[in-house]
Copies of this chain bind each other. A is one copy, B any other.
Amino acid sequence: MDQASYLDALAIDRGSEQSLHGQLYDRIHVAIREGRLPPGARLPSTRSLSIQLGVARGTIDAVYARLAGEGCLIAQRHSGTIVAPGFRAAADTSVAPPRANAAEPWLPLQLGLPALDLFPRKPWTRILARQARQLPIDEMIAPAAMGLPALREAIAAYLAVSRGVTCGVDQIVVTHGFQDALNLTVDLVLAMGDTVWIEDPGYGFVQQTLSARGMAIAPVPVDEEGLCVDQGRAEAPAAKLAIVTPAHQFPLGITLSPARRHALLTWAAEAGGWILEDDYDCEFHYSGHKPAALKAMDVDRRVFYAGSFSKSLLPSLRLGYLVVPPQLAEAARTAQQLRHRGVAMFEQLAVAEFMRQGHFARHLRRMMVRYKARRNALVAALERQFGDRIVLTHRAGGLHVLGRFPGLGDDADLARRALKHGLKPSPLSGQYLKPGPDQGLLMSFTNVPEEKADEVAATLSRAIG
């Protein structure tokens, strides 16, 4: 869309009852939704638009900020405001997307879900039901803002044993999951306008959240060793925070190399920067040793460590945790009081008891075996079905595989066709902030039992082949 037609579309009606803000907002929003302003398109600067439309610059600033807050626009550090690459209408941005079919709350290959059929219902139900019957008085009043002490102790013990992360219980904040942990981290260490390194490709909600909170995004590419730290230093040396998935990079599955870990920690120490480690599916690794947590090497106390029970137990719990550096523990307590006063008691009690009785560790051990079997079955079925038409990347860990289908066309189109056949792979290109040539389908194996793998592969072949 050229500059002239863009201005045409934005033309303000001064006789309208709608405010200038409202008019501008609506028009830009419609232009984005209808594709007249496509993802990546650059908007005029507020200064030039102010002159051209004869509208106060503050009004335009406010409209841009609101659209950035809603994830439609991104304010870049040096190169102005653009339409968010990969932006879809609000209802489409969820990781657990709306049902393709009202009868199905999820679909095979869909990312972001644990194996729903393998959840340990029996001990979980027993614990919940007993808890419901007891309800002593101190479980009726508001829980501590940092979280239930029993749960924080269980998490501390788990992290020490399983992730080599040793920390005081007072450093652990129980959160409503990663999204909440991310916002808490922002509250603790960032000021409006600060620059943040994020992985590209990466988890889309991170970019949307940071943009909404007024931060500048510095997308840093990921190669075979993980985050390209040198490139981050070169392009955004003044960044205040780096957000990384060191165990299994999302979505590529790469484990951050020792050299890059060292480089990242060195950057943080030298630049006074912070690191948020999103260890979202570290529990699931299928060959030899699990990758270490970056937090385990954090001698300079610059690393926040976020974990979640969404993959290891249930997404509907909305439960996770954040380990904060010890010098920020007191500030985290205050922040939690002012943010939402912490997490409801019931989930915390249940998970604490589930961990205390050993069910959590048992469940994780069992799932490692079961996920490995499901992964291998899906990989074998896809290879049988597609032969030379697929290039599969399956790393040693994580909950999905990546399939590239050379010559079969645009991955977003492939995903749409798969959805029509009742499958829900995610297009790799949609995970990139800077549009790139990398295409493929991300396919979760968590909810594809071994005996269903051939059927799923055949359906996918019919859909896209």
Contact = CB atoms under 8 A, between A and B. Distances in A.
Given A176-B344, A209-B338, A314 B140 contact: yes
A341 B317 CA distance: 11
B141 A113 contact: yes
Contacts of A23: none
Nearest to A177: B341
Interface in A136-182: 137-143, 145, 175-177, 179-180
Tallying the copies of this chain within the complex gives 2
B339 A179 contact: yes
B143 A318 contact: yes
A25 B119 CA distance: 47
A316 B143 contact: yes
Given A129-B132, A340-B340, A331 B139 contact: no
B141 A133 contact: no
A78 interface: no
A342 interface: yes
A398 interface: no
A324 to B, nearest CB: 14
A215 to B, nearest CB: 12
A340 B180 contact: yes
A140 B71 contact: no
Given A90-B334, A187-B69, A316-B344, A180 B339 contact: yes
Contacts of A327: 22
Contact of A317 (B22, B106, B209, B344): B344
A129 B133 CA distance: 7
A105 interface: yes
Nearest to A317: B344
A105 B122 CA distance: 32
A345 to B, nearest CB: 4
Contacts of A113: 141
Contacts of A344: 176, 316-319, 343-344, 346-347
Interface in A77-105: 90, 93-96, 105
A335 B211 CA distance: 12
A70 B341 CA distance: 14
Nearest to A114: B140
A128 interface: yes
Contacts of A345: 316-318
Contacts of A95: 142
Nearest to A189: B66
A134 to B, nearest CB: 9
B125 A137 contact: no
B346 A96 contact: no
A135 B315 CA distance: 13
Contacts of A310: 142
A408 interface: no
B125 A341 contact: no
Contact of A318 (B22, B133, B341): B341
A175 B340 CA distance: 9
B335 A69 contact: yes
Given A94-B145, A316-B139, A70 B105 contact: no
A27 to B, nearest CB: 15
Contacts of A128: 128-129, 132
A196 to B, nearest CB: 14
A406 interface: no
Given A66-B331, A205-B337, A346-B347, A116 B137 contact: yes
A308 to B, nearest CB: 11
Interface in A196-221: 205, 208-209, 212, 214
5 contacts: A69-B335, A105-B141, A128-B132, A142-B315, A318-B343
Given A318-B345, A340-B340, 19 more contacts: A69-B338, A70-B334, A71-B338, A95-B142, A125-B132, A125-B135, A132-B132, A140-B316, A176-B340, A179-B338, A179-B339, A179-B340, A180-B339, A180-B340, A192-B192, A205-B338, A212-B338, A316-B344, A317-B344
